[in-house]
Amino acid sequence: MTQTYVLTDLDKLEAEAVHIFREVAATIERPALLFSGGKDSVVMLHLAAKAFWPAPVPFPVMHIDTGQNFDEVIEFRDRTVERFGLRLIVASVQDDIDAGRVAEIGGPLGPRNKLQTVSLLRGIKENQFGAVFGGARRDEEKARAKERVFSFRDEFGQWDPKNQRPELWSLYNGRHHKGENMRVFPLSNWTELDIWNYILREQIDLPDLYYAHQRTVVERDNMLFVVNRFIEPGPGEQPFEATVRFRTIGDATCTGCVESAAATREAVVAEVAAARITERGATRADDAISEAGMEDRKKEGYF
């Protein structure tokens, strides 16, 4: 075969992400990678490991723990961090609640996604992180579609969408003063389907929740929620058995699942390729709050 010197789409996305990891490691002091055990953060960690081979990943990972996680995901998190030989920093939302830094919304089982911002900012400050890698993708949400790969946060951790640094070619400006930080998104140009194609190609392990399995669920706001210690059937809600899988994994109180028979990586790729609803639209109750829900949370310092 003649060499055409053309990279596949996945190779191109991989090269771009690897470039970004190396750029941060070379130019910004004390980076950290946000790791939740969700598929995007798992792919991110996999890419980071490839970027620095044969050396170990030269930064720690941080988990913003809402305290309302799926047990399988926490086990997966600990197993993965150990396999890569990394240091895990946990910034706990419960700590912030206990210390009175944030108030719970809607009682002890209320959603804690919004509360994560305080813990995230505290984690960054306490560890003096100059850059934090996040797994956000521009295809997820319309405010994220406008965000830079290197996204500057002021000393209050805030994003100013109207005053973003121009970002051209592959020249990234990560300069900041003490107390400010950068959020860096190596997966900016990936879509959900790219992520799954890559998971398949690289045979990346994920929590089992991503694959079809039997669960007791209730239907709420046109979404399916797993009945567990965080979600109890409400008045008029009838629990039933279903074969489901999760398209995203976040706080267990607000992450829904979808009916699916996709039990393998191949089957999920086929399902995602045919999907007609975005992953956040299908399974995230928190984003549906308002037209600018994500933009408002990001301005406050959210991922």
Partner 1 sequence: MSQLLRIATAGSVDDGKSTLIGRLLFDGKAIFEDQLGAIETASAARGFDGPDLALFTDGLRAEREQGITIDVAYRYFATPKRKFIIADTPGHIQYTRNMVTGASTADVALILIDARNGVLEQSRRHAFLATLLGIPHLVLCVNKMDLVDYSQERFNEIRTEFEAFASKLEVRDLTFIPVSALTGDNVVTPSAAMPWYEGPALLGYLEELHVASDRNLIDARMPVQYVIRPQQADFHDFRGYAGTVAGGVFRPGDEVVVLPSGFSTMVTNVWGPGGTKLDEAFTGQAVTIELADNLDISRGDMLCRPNNRPVSTQDVDAMICWMDSDLTLATDATYTMLHTTRDTRVSVKELEYRLDINTLHRVEEAPSLGLNEIGRVRLRTQKPLHFDAYRRNRDTGSFVLIDEATNNTVAAGMILGPSQNEPNIVWHSGAVTREHRRTRGMTLWLTGLSGSGKSSVAVEIERRLVAAGQPAYILDGDNLRHGLNSDLGFSPEDRQENVRRVTQVARLMADAGVVAIVSLVSPYRADRDAARAAHDADEIPFLEIFMDTPLEVAEARDTKGLYAKARAGEIKDFTGINAPYEAPLRPDLLLRPSDGDAGTLAGIVIDRVEQT
Q: For partner 1, which residue of 2, 103, 169, 203 counts as binding (CB under 8 A)?
A: 169
CA angle 166, 40, 224 (to 5 degrees): 120
How far are the Cα atoms of 69, 78, 131 from residue 85, in angstroms, in the given order?
23, 10, 20
When the beta carbons of 56 and 108 are compared against partner 1, the nearer one is 56
Q: At 252, is the secondary structure helix, strand, or coil?
A: coil
- 117: part of which helix (H) or strand (E)? helix 116-126
Residue 69 beta carbon to partner 1: minimum distance, rounded to whole angstroms: 25
**Residue 123 to residue 91: CA distance in whole angstroms:** 6
Residue 247 beta carbon to partner 1: minimum distance, rounded to whole angstroms: 12
Report if residue 270 touches partner 1, rule: CB under 8 A.
no
Residue 244 beta carbon to partner 1: minimum distance, rounded to whole angstroms: 18
Pairing of strands 213-220, 240-245: antiparallel
**Residue 214 to residue 175: CA distance in whole angstroms:** 49
Amino acid at 188: S
**Residue 172 to residue 254: CA distance in whole angstroms:** 35
Residues 48-67 that bind partner 1 (CB under 8 A): 49-56
Residue 144 beta carbon to partner 1: minimum distance, rounded to whole angstroms: 8
Report if residue 173 touches partner 1, rule: CB under 8 A.
yes
Report if residue 155 touches partner 1, rule: CB under 8 A.
no
- Give residue for tokens 């319309």: 142
Beta carbons within 8 Å of 148's beta carbon, 6+ residues apart: 164, 165, 167
When the beta carbons of 49 and 227 are compared against partner 1, the nearer one is 49
- Which residues on neighbouring strands pair with residue 153, listed in sequence order? 181
When the beta carbons of 27 and 94 are compared against partner 1, the nearer one is 27
Amino acid at 221: D
Q: Do the Cβ atoms of 103 and 74 come closer than 8 Å?
A: no
Q: For partner 1, which residue of 5, 100, 103, 214 counts as binding (CB under 8 A)?
A: 5
Phi, psi of 102 (to 5 degrees): -135, 155
**Residue 128 to residue 196: CA distance in whole angstroms:** 33
# residues contacting partner 1 (CB under 8 A) = 64
When the beta carbons of 15 and 105 are compared against partner 1, the nearer one is 15
Residues 70-109 that bind partner 1 (CB under 8 A): none
Residue 203 beta carbon to partner 1: minimum distance, rounded to whole angstroms: 12
**Residue 148 to residue 196: CA distance in whole angstroms:** 23
What track of x and - describes contact with partner 1 for positions 120 through 149 (by CB under 8 A)?
------------------xx-xxxxxx---
Report if residue 201 touches partner 1, rule: CB under 8 A.
no
When the beta carbons of 103 and 168 are compared against partner 1, the nearer one is 168
Q: For partner 1, which residue of 100, 162, 238, 241 counts as binding (CB under 8 A)?
A: 162
Secondary structure E strands in 95-177: 131-133, 150-153
When the beta carbons of 143 and 217 are compared against partner 1, the nearer one is 143
When the beta carbons of 99 and 270 are compared against partner 1, the nearer one is 270
Site residues (vs partner 1, CB under 8 A): 3-9, 11-12, 14-16, 18-19, 22-23, 25-26, 47, 49-56, 138-139, 141-146, 161-162, 164-171, 173, 175-177, 188-189, 191, 193-194, 275-278, 281-282, 291-292, 295-296
